[in-house]
Structure formats: C-alpha cells, structure tokens
Structure 1
Amino acid sequence: MSNFKKFIITVTVGIVALIAEFGFKQPKIAFWLILLIGGITTISMFIGMIKTLKSGKYGVDILAITAIVATLAVGQYWASLTVLIMLTGGDSLEDYASRQAGKELKALLDNTPTTAHLLSDDTVTDVKVETVKIGDRILVKPGEVIPVDATVEKGSSFVDESSLTGESKPVDKTVGDELMSGSLNGDAALTVKVYKEAKDSQYQLLVKLVKESAARPAKFVRLADRYAVPFTLVAYLIGGVAWFLSKDPVRFAEVMVVASPCPLILAAPVALVAGMSRSSRHGIVVKTGMTIEKLAKAQTIAFDKTGTITAGRLFVDRVEIADSAYDRHTVIQLAASAEQASTHILSRSLIADAKKEKIKLLPSEDLEEVTGQGIKATVDGKSVKVGKAGFAHTESHLSSDETAVFVSVDDQFIGMITFKDVVRKETPETINKLKALGIDNISLITGDKNSIAQTIAKQVGITNVHSECLPEDKIAILKNVNDSERPVIMVGDGVNDAPALSIADVGIAMGAHGSTAASESADAVILRDDLGRVAEAVNISQNTMKIAKQSVLIGIFICVFLMLVASFGVIPALLGAALQEVIDTVSILSALRAKNDR
C-alpha cells in the first residue's frame, strides 16, 4: 500500500473517531479505532525497523514507535492519532519529493515529436520521426519542436532552447547553424539537413534520462539517521528522568510525542529535491539525490581533453597558399562551398569559419563523397576537391599532430587548410573555481600524446597529467585513487569516456554535443555546452548539503528544547503532537532554501 493511501486511511479513521466521541458520545469506539490503526502502523514500522537494523544501519523510527505506544498506553489516544497523521503525511510528502526530482524534465515526454515534414523534390510528406535518416532534408514550421538534430540549410529564425539548456533567451539560427532536437522553432520556417537520427538526437537523450530516473528513483539518505543514536539516547534520557522524578508515565509519553522524528526525516529529502530542481534550471541534470551528496564531498576531479577541456570542435588554424592565383579568402570560399552539403566534422568547421569571416558561399553541384579520401563538387563551374593530400594531387609534409585538408581546383593543387582544437574559454576559470570549492586534486586524462596534453594542461592550470590513455587506462587511474582523496569526479563527453564515467564516484557528461553512451553512463549531464556548469554543479551540491544539514539540526535543536519543556509537564501530549507541525514547517521551509540561487 502506498504511503498516500495510508495517510488517507489514517485521516478517515480519525474523522470517524471524532464523530464517534464528540457526535455520539462513544469515547471507547474512538479509542479502539485509533488503537487499531495505531497498532497496524506500529507493527508495519517495527518490521521496517528490524530490516533496517539487519542491514547494519540505525534509524530514528524507534522514537515514532515509542511515541505511538506510549500515548496509547496512558490513554492519550488523540495525541497518538496526531502523531500517526503526521507520520503517514510525512511519508507521503517524502514520496512526493522523490517523484518531483524529475518533474521539470518529465515535461519533455509530453512534447516528444512523433512526425517530421520530409522534403523531397520540393514535396512535403509527413513521416514518423524515427524513419528520418542522416542527410534527409526536412521542413520545420513556425512554432514546432525540432524533431532531430540538424543543420539549417535555408531560412533564419529565433529558436528557444530553454527546455534543453535552461537558457531563456532565444538563439538566432541561420544557414549553417546546428539545431538541437527538442528546441522550439520561432516564427519562421526552416529547411534543415539531418545529421543525427532520432534515436541519437539530443531530445531522445533527455527522454532516456527521464525514463532512467523513473525506473531508478532517487534514494534519499536520511541525514537525521546520522544523529539517530545520540538523539534517541537524549530523548529516552529526558523522558526517563521526567518519569522517574514525577512518578507519572504520562510525562514520559509527553516527552516522546515531542521527540517524534517526522521533521528530521523530511528535511533532507526536501533539500535534495530543491537542489536537483535548482541544478536543472542551470542546465544540469542530476539523476539522483545521492549524486548531490557525493558532489558536495568530492575531493578529486579528472577531465577528458577533447570536447571537455577543449571545445571538441576543430577551428581553422592557418591557410597555406600553393598557387599565387588564389588568396586565403578564395581558398576557404571554394573549400567551404564544396563542403556545404557534407556532414563531415571538418566540413562544419570550414563552414563555421567562412561564416565567421563573412565569406559568401557559392552554389555547389554534383557533390560526391569518396570514402576515406574527401569530397568532390562543382563550384562556380570548377571541379573542386577537398580531402587528403593524394586526393588533391599533392604530397603531405604534416606532422602527426596536425589535422588538415588539401584543396585542388581542376586537378591543380591550390592550398592547404589546417585545423586545431582550442581550449574552451571558460576552462581556466572553471579550474580556479573548483580549487576555490576545495577540490585541489585535479587531473587531465587523455588519449592524446604527452606533448599535446602537457601544453593544454599548462594553459588551464592543471599539473597532474595522464596522456596516451586507452579507456582501460582511464579506469585503472580512477580505481587507484586513494580513499582519502574520494569521492572522485570524472568529466567527459566521448564514447570512450563512458566506462570511466561509470567507474567514477560521480560521472559528469558534457551532453550538449557529446555522445549518448557517455550521457547514459553518467550520474549527471551538462546540457549546456559550458564546462563552467561542472563547477556550478559542485557549488550547488555543496550549498544544498549545507542547507540540508542545517535544516536537520534546526529540527533536532527545537525537538530537544521542547522535550526539556515537556519533561516539566508544561506541554500536554496533544499539544506536543500539534507542536510537531511547527517543527515540520520550520524544517521544510529551511530545506526549501536550497532551491534559491545565491
């Protein structure tokens, strides 16, 4: 039976008991009704407590059991009913809090696009989104959700990406720009070219995360359990002394009612859910409350290089001219024009550079992609080849660290364009923020050569470098981190990072342009293409746990104070039970502070 049903039954029994005693003057019926529901609840809680003890843990449920039994034993059955209502209501609220963990993301499921407008010879056909293939052209109408990851081929529009990145300001998208599935098109139609199938697109990644969270709900740790033994001993000590000195067992019951642990049990879950909600507003998907706790205590963090420390996108570095009839502008124009219909990563880099330098692309025809060699197209009536050196009729003298394409016109080599991966502009600041948050053990773990890794690490302020690592090497490095330097965070974005993300105490995936495998393996996913969100995730987690602990301690201190007052017989059992609502409210309001940005 769900906790909410238990709460409804308890309230219903309470109403019937009230009618019996005050409507029909039958206090015995009221007593037996409350005794029945109290006995059933107590037995259920006792069984749960035994299971907890068998697992080697100790909780505060024993105080709730004692309060119910003690109040029933001394005839304070209305106080017992109040405690029962608060306990079942508290458990219902905790269940509700767990469900709320993915609420802001679950809305995505209701908006999942199911159809796409496929363009073929200027004819529009509605097809199922899962049938759309890479290279297909589709029409996105004004106000529609973009169904798959694609590149704008025609048109310009403002696109709302807030459901994916948390960024409220619409982004201007024009020809050559990438669109994430799940974002909302503005007031202009767009013709786009698909570069990821629906199953691999950004929107479906989020849907998978939501379903995963639903199948594996957050397991909230009751912070109150860490204080359970001393709190329980203090409660029994105060109650026992009050009973011994007054010779009145009612005094013990009054103390136990005030010691009911409801607010302590609620404080941590409410704070954790609030922290997860705050994270999602900042473009960070945190899958479980346990992840928040680990992030808050993290001592070590390791980064992959490509796509994580660096942008993961190649940028044009230099252009070497081989034919004096051409200049830099013309070589890039011809190469980018020929590549504009290609989905290769270097094609997107060329087009992005041309756009940045405001170079107008020329119409291209007869595109032919030669596997493993490059592309061939007719641009402005000329046969343009872009690809490997031999394909472009020349020889390569590049070092093994360089990436380049060679360009020929009418089988005459005219120039070479080299590319480089650059450090994200926010990376150095992110490293400094992590150090300020108390994470001093920062490593770079990459498959790149040592010379490249050392250069990148020096630029961003990382001194501990592991280079030329295979996926199994990354796992070994993370496994060998000392216990005193844990929890350890691993941040990556590629398929080869997925095993490392799984083995780390906390795996964080750069999900905006990263692989689906990495995001599914991770405990948290950064939806914005911004490494600074990693430091933000740690900051939010630390703040959340600080507030959670404060809220638990506030509840404990108020309870201890009221127990001391109740030991003098000043607080009747029924009033003591009612005062628990005050402690509930204070603890929950304190915990909800975790949802606010500082």
Structure 2
Amino acid sequence: MNALWARLTRYPIITITVVIGIIGVALALTGEELAARWTISIFALVIAGIESIAMVRSLLRGSFGIDVLAVTAIIATVLVGEYWASLIIVLMFSGGEALEDYAAGRAKHELTALLDRSPQFAHRQQGNETVEVPVGELEVMDTVVVKPGELVPVDGTLLSEVATLDESSLTGESLPVERVRGDILISGSVNGALALAMTVTAKAEDSQYQRIVALVAEAAESKAPFVRLADRYAVPFTIVAYIMAAAGWIFSGDPARFAEVLVVATPCPLIIATPVAFIAGMSRAARHGIIIKNGGTLEKLARVKTVAFDKTGTLTQGQPELSAIHAVDGVTQDELLRLAAIAEQYSAHTLAQSLVSSAHFRGLKIVPCNDVVETTAHGLTATIDGKVVVVGKFGFILDAAPNAERVQLEAGELAIYVSIDGVYAGAIILRDEVRLDAAETLTWLRHLGVRRTLMLTGDAKATAEHVAAGLGVTDVRAECLPIDKVRAVEAVTERPVMMVGDGVNDAPVLAVADVGVAMGARGSTAASESADVVIMKDDLARVARAVQVGQDTIRIALQSIWLGIVLSLGLMVAAVFGLIPAVVGAAFQEIIDLLTILNALRALGNGRSPEVHRSISPPTRQSQIVP
C-alpha cells in the first residue's frame, strides 16, 4: 500500500488526470455528457495554463521546446469539442515524465550500481577480537578482515597468503583475479569464498572506490546538452506542424482538422528519447570501466578528430625496469641507486617508483631525507646524509654539476642522471615496454575517424621518436613541460581534440583538452579530477571504446529523433486529409513514444564485457622495449 501511495504522489498530475478521466466516464455513462465535457475541458485548460508558464520561463532562458505544440493541441481540442482527445494529450504529456524516469532508471542501472553498493562498515581487528566499525573510522595501518562476498572497504595490502577477488564493477574485467600476500587490494572489489586479512593503506575518502563513487555521482547527476540536441530539430518541426495544421483547416474548412493534426504533432521523442540515449550511453561506458562525467562529453567523443597521448604510462607500460647503472668518481652502483631512490621516494612520478622498487629489489635501505625540492618535469634536489643529491634530466644535472657527461643510450633507453655535492656521480638507465595494445588502439581510432595523433612527452626527443615510429605516430613533441603540452593542445586546429594521460603533470593539459581522458587505474587523483573521462582499468583500448560508445550513442539518439519525426509526419499527413480522428491520433502518438524510447535504450549495448576490437587485425609484432 505504501509503495502504491508513493507512486501516486510521485506523479500527481498523472493521478489527477486518471481520476478526472474516471469521473468523465461516469458522467457520460449516466447521461451527463455536458458535465463530462466541462469537467475534462476545464481540467485540460488548467494543465495547459501551467505548462504555458513553464514554457515561457524556458523561452526566457533561451531554450525552445516543442511543448508549445502540446499546449496548442490541448487548447485546440478543447475549443473544437474533442475533449477526450485533450485528456489523452494531458495524460501523454504528463506521463512523459514517468516514462522518462522509468527509461532513465533502466539506462542508469550500470552507472549507479557502484553507488548502491558503497560499503558502510568494516571489520577491524582489535587484539584478538574483530569489531564492526564505520568505514570512515578506519585509519592507515589498521588490520581489517573482509568476509566472503563482502566489499573491500578501503585500499590496502593483502596479509593473507592468497585471495580471489571480483573487480568487475571497477575495471569491467569479468574474470576473478588472484592476489597473494603483499599485493595491493582495490577498495570496492568483492572478496571470494575465503575470508581475508588486509592492512589499510588509505583512509576511506582517499581510496580508489570513493574516488570512483564521486566520479559516478557526478556523471549520474550531470545535466548534459540533451535539450540542445533536440532543440536543433524542434523549431523546424514546430513550424512544419503549424503549417500542416493550418493547411488542413483551410482546405477542409473544418477547425477540428487543425486540432487533429496537432494531436499527432507532439512527439515526446524530442523531449524524452534523447536524454535516455545519452544516459544509456554513459551507463554502457561504466559497464566497461569507463566513467564519462557528463553527456556533453559523449557528443565531443563522437566527433573527436585529434588524439594526443602522453608517453610514459599511457602508450608504454609505465613500469620502467632497471637496465644498467653507470657510476663514476668512486661511487658504487648500489650507492648511486640508493641515493637516487632515497631522493625520489617522495615523488609520484612513474620513474621515481621504478627507482625505489629497484633499490628494494637489491636490498638497499631507503631512509628518510631532508630538504626535498622537486622541479616538475626536470628532477629534484634532496639532502641525504649531509650531502646535496640532485636527480633528474641531463640539463637539470648540468646546472648543478658542470662536469656532467651524457651517456650513450641504445634505442629505447632512458637515462636518469645524478650529482652529489655539485659533482657528477653517474647515470641510471631504465627501459619501458610499449603497451601490447597500443598499436591496435591507434588503428582502431583511425577507423573511428580520428585524423591525427600526437605524442606529448617530457622525455628526450630520440626516445620519444623511437616509440612514435613503432606505433605510427607522426607528430611528436618531446622534452615538454606541462605548459608546453597545454600550448600544443590549444594550437590543434582539427578539433575536437582528446588528450590521454595518467600523471600529475598531465592534469593541466587534460583540463584544457576538449576531452581529457585519465588512465585512472594508476593515475593520480589530480589527473582523474581534471579529466572528462576516467578509464578505471589499465587498458588503453578502452580509450578507443569510449570514442565508439560516444559515436553509437549520438547515432542512436539521432535515429530516435528522426524515427519520431518521420512517424509523426506520416500521421500528420493522414490527419490533414481527415483520416485520423483526434482520439485515435493521440493513441497513435503514445505508440510512437514507446517505439522511440525503446530504440533509445539500444544505446545500452548488448551487455557483453569489453573485448579487443576484432575487426582490426594489425600484423603481429614482437614486443618493443622502449622508454
């Protein structure tokens, strides 16, 4: 009973319309036809008046909607005595909101699934006991027990020997993943059949899951340019409808013909089907681990002509491995690596993480250091054991140590230079593999209509050109500072331009691009917040999939609009010649609404997990080792 009452009160106009209809039928059956006519007509005119006020407000805001046709149709049917038709139009117009809510709810299912599953409590280990506490109370280094089937509440490190987790709602990957002791656990993952223990590494508000929830909430509440897309067709359609209605009246001499034409000229598809298609497209993307923050981005994705990529961590694996160490002036290789790792331990850069990992692998002790000053895209300075250590690019080191010398690099190698107390101490050589799916992704983007690709990187020119040559990227901008990347994107003439990156230094250029895409699986919070699209799985191919989802969504939205327009025009032609009574025309219009909304829901896709783009099969190639 409560559920029924909630539905009735949620859509009061629909409820009142049905009640008025029942009263009208009762009056007509008891011979009170005049009373039925006046009851329904007055109600219809009141609704028309209310909608007219809303319509005027929309016009004052610069938004032209086709609700003017519905208002005119209601008034016209009342004036010519077709009051039953006017009641159906009111029901159709007010029912549009309920129909849109239903369709949008279905379309949003994937998009809002994460919000509905947000963990509220966690099992914290306190001595020999496990205590249930709110997730927000967890602190770094707490030990948490996750029971079978529960969500991992916050980011952490696995303490148990092994665990099986379902990360599909985060990454779109349908298969469970195996984790072993020491592996990172992503909040929001679903634990398997065995309970696990973990150490908290981030508080709830800083965890991956909460970041995703925030992004999804923003996407779910976005007010995209749905109306603008429909308005492009609303004005000409309205004009044509009035001309045909006037023509029917003039040629027949019957004012009822004017009303009959307008009854079938109120296509809710222009109002409802377009936003449903957009929401469905965003939900489809979310199912594939792609968070699109607003519907406006879908429109831009569909028209992308240029794609710019960062290199490290985007086109490459982003996990450079130690290749060689060149130490000079009596400094041992281990000491050179140790000092560089100590200095870089506070940096979020991918190369810094590689240095620290390499030092740990060699069993070198990483201790705290002082006076760390990082110069973005160049390097950093730190005081270690009373010594001033400078780590970074050759030009950065040359300023601190004039005796610095470049090392000879093989194709695809990258050097990190080090100086100690103003004296050149050597260089550490790293290598990074190109992503296995990078070439195919670029090919897929070209098939989707992308005309130009760029690489924007802070790495050396020779290194960047080596990567670009292997992937077919012809426009390379190397040794870029963040501001250089911003200027390069702003200078692109073939727009819209999409920028793909994953690091802190990519945040500015992601913000200025028409579409900023953050590889959020490893990317920084700054990059994800600046981007319009966040890829939650470390899978470059999903960049191309995002473009495809945008194109499919716009295509289906336009199909829905044209389906409604063409069917309505057909009915209008029939009404002009008096072939469709007003009441029958109103019923036909409801059928058109349903058809177009069902078509719009096709933007949800087929529900399958994302796959590699099978229609493109570039030649198999050996993995390239490049920085």
- By the TM > 0.5 criterion, same fold? yes
Question: Which residue is equivalent to 1:15?
Answer: 22
2:453 maps to a residue whose letter is I
Residue 4, structure 1, aligned to residue 11, structure 2? yes
Aligned match for 2:369, one of 365, 368, 371: 371
- 8 Å contact from structure 1 (residues 97, 269) kept in 2: no
Residue 153 of structure 2: SS of its match in structure 1? coil
In structure 2, C-alpha distance between the alignment counterparts of 1:347 and 1:155, rounded to whole Å: 29
1:87-102 aligned within 5 A = 87-98=93-104, 102=108
Matches within 5 A, 1:162-173: 162-173=168-179
1:57: Cα distance to partner?
4.5
Is the alpha carbon distance of 1:302 and 1:19 closer, same or farther for their aligned partners in structure 2, counting shifts above 3 Å? farther
Aligned to 2:36: 30
Which sits farther off after the overlay, 206-215 or 99-108?
99-108
> TM-score, normalization: structure 1?
0.81
Aligned match of 1:536? 545
Pairwise CA distance, 1:178: 2.5
Structure 1's 101 and 113: CA in aligned 2 closer, same or farther, altered over 3 A? same
The 3-state SS of whatever aligns with 2:320 is strand
Closer, same or farther in 2 for the Cα pair 1:117/1:54, shift >3 Å? closer
- Structure-1 residue corresponding to 2:490: 479
Deviates more, 1:472-481 or 1:342-351: 342-351
Residue 505 of structure 1: CA displacement?
Answer: 2.1
Task: Give the stretch that moved more between structures: 71-80 or 290-299.
Answer: 290-299
Contact 2:21 2:87 survives alignment (8 Å): yes
2:162 aligned residue (153, 156, 173): 156
Tell me the residue number matched to 1:284. Answer: 290
Distance 2:169 2:97 in 1: 31
Compute the displacement of 1:441 (Å): 2.2
Between the aligned partners of 2:45 and 2:10, the Cα distance in structure 1 is: 16
Specify the alignment match of 1:413 in structure 2. none
Displacement of 1:437 in angstroms is: 0.6
In structure 2, what is the Cα distance between the partners aligned to 1:321 and 1:500? 36
Structure 2 counterpart of 1:539, one-letter code: Q
Instruction: Give, in whole Å, the separation in 1 of the partners of 2:317 and 2:141.
Output: 25
Q: How much does 1:162 deviate?
A: 1.1
Contact 1:156 1:188 in 2 (8 A): no
Instruction: Call closer, same or farther: CA 1:539–1:140 in 2, change over 3 Å.
Output: same
Match of 1:190 in 2: 196
Is the counterpart of residue 489 in structure 1 residue 487 in structure 2? no
Q: Structure 1 CA distance, aligned partners of 2:415 and 2:144?
A: 36
What CA deviation, in whole Å up to 9, does each residue of 1:317-376 have, x standing for no partner?
458999xxxxxxxx9xxx9xx99xx9997898699999xxxxxx99x9x97634379xxx
Q: Are 1:79 and 2:89 matched, yes or no?
A: no
Secondary structure of the equivalent of 1:434? helix
Query: Residue 267 and residue 126 in structure 1: after superposition, are their counterparts in 2 closer, same or farther (change >3 A)?
Result: closer
Residue identity in the other structure for 2:34: K
Please provide the CA RMSD for this pair. Answer: 4.0
Cα deviation, residue 137, structure 1: 4.8
Alignment length, in residue pairs?
A: 552
Task: Give the counterpart of 1:61 among 67, 74, 78.
Answer: 67
Please give the secondary structure, in 2, of the residue aligned with 1:369: coil
Aligned residue number for residue 577 of structure 2: 568
What is residue 445 of structure 1 aligned with on the other side? 456
Name which of 523, 531, 544 aligns with 1:522. 531
Map 1:276-355 to 2 at 5 A. Answer: 276-317=282-323
1:577 counterpart residue number:
586
2:516 alignment partner, SS class: strand
For 1:43 and 1:251, how far apart are their aligned partners in 2?
A: 23
1:554 corresponds to which of 553, 563, 573: 563
Distance in structure 1 (CA, Å) of the matches to 2:523 and 2:513: 18
Amino acid at match of 2:501: G
Note the C-alpha offset of 1:142. Answer: 3.1
1:238 Cα shift? Answer: 2.0
Alignment of 1:379-528 (within 5 A): 399=407, 401-403=414-416, 418-482=429-493, 485-528=494-537
Whether the 8 Å CA contact 1:200–1:516 is kept in 2: the answer is no
Secondary structure at the residue paired with 1:551? helix
C-alpha separation in 2, matches of 1:500 and 1:4: 45
Judged with a 3 Å threshold, the aligned counterparts in structure 2 of structure 1 residues 280 and 237 are, in CA distance, closer, same or farther, namely: same
Residue 176 of structure 1 contacts residue 351 of structure 1 at CA under 8 Å; is this kept in 2? no
Q: 1:205 is paired with a residue of what secondary structure?
A: helix
Cα deviation digits, residues 446-501 of structure 1 (max 9, x gap): 3333333322222222222233333333333333333xx22222222222322322
User: Could you say if the C-alpha distance between residues 240 and 222 of structure 1 is closer, same or farther in structure 2, counting changes exceeding 3 Å?
Assistant: same
Measured after TM superposition, the shift of residue 292 of structure 1 is 1.4
Query: C-alpha displacement at 1:434, in angstroms?
Result: 0.8
1:210–1:275 distance in 2 versus 1, CA, 3 Å? closer
Instruction: Give the gaps of 5 or more residues in structure 2.
Output: 1-7, 329-333, 372-386, 391-403, 419-426, 609-627
Alignment CA distance shift 1:550-1:390 (3 Å): closer
Residue 99 of structure 1 and its aligned partner are, at CA, apart by 5.5
* More deviation, 225-234/536-545: 225-234
Following the alignment from structure 1 to structure 2, what is the Cα–Cα distance between the partners of residues 487 and 40? 46
Q: Give the 3 Å change call, closer, same or farther, for CA 201–546 of structure 1 in structure 2.
A: same
The alpha-carbon distance between structure 1 residues 298 and 551, as it changes in their structure 2 partners (threshold 3 A), is same
CA displacement at 1:243 relative to structure 2: 1.1
Distance in 2 between residues matched to 1:51 and 1:65, nearest whole Å: 14
Shift of 1:83: 0.9
The answer to whether the 8 A contact 1:278-1:596 is kept is: yes
CA contact (8 A) 1:222 1:268 kept: no
| TM-score, normalising length: structure 2 | 0.77
Deviates more, 1:291-300 or 1:40-49: 40-49
**C-alpha displacement of 1:286:** 1.7
CA contact (8 A) 1:90 1:262 kept: yes
From the superposition, tell whether residues 154 and 317 of structure 1 become closer, same or farther in structure 2 (CA, over 3 Å). farther
The verdict on how the C-alpha distance between 1:447 and 1:372 changes in structure 2, with shifts beyond 3 A counting, is farther
Moved more, 524-533 or 505-514: 505-514
Q: Distance in 1 between matches of 2:124 and 2:365?
A: 21
- Distance across 2 between alignment mates of 1:69 and 1:3: 26
Per-residue deviation, residues 195-214 of structure 1 (Å, max 9, x unmatched): 43332221011121133235
Query: Whole-Å Cα distance in 2 between the matches of residues 533 and 512 of structure 1?
Result: 12
Identity, in percent, stands at: 48
Alpha carbons of 1:125 and 1:389: their partners in 2 closer, same or farther (altered >3 Å)? farther
Q: Distance in 2 between matches of 1:351 and 1:371?
A: 14
Question: Which AA in structure 1 matches 2:95?
Answer: G
Partner residue in 2 for 1:412: none
Aligned residues of 1:155 and 1:189 also touching (Cα < 8 A): no
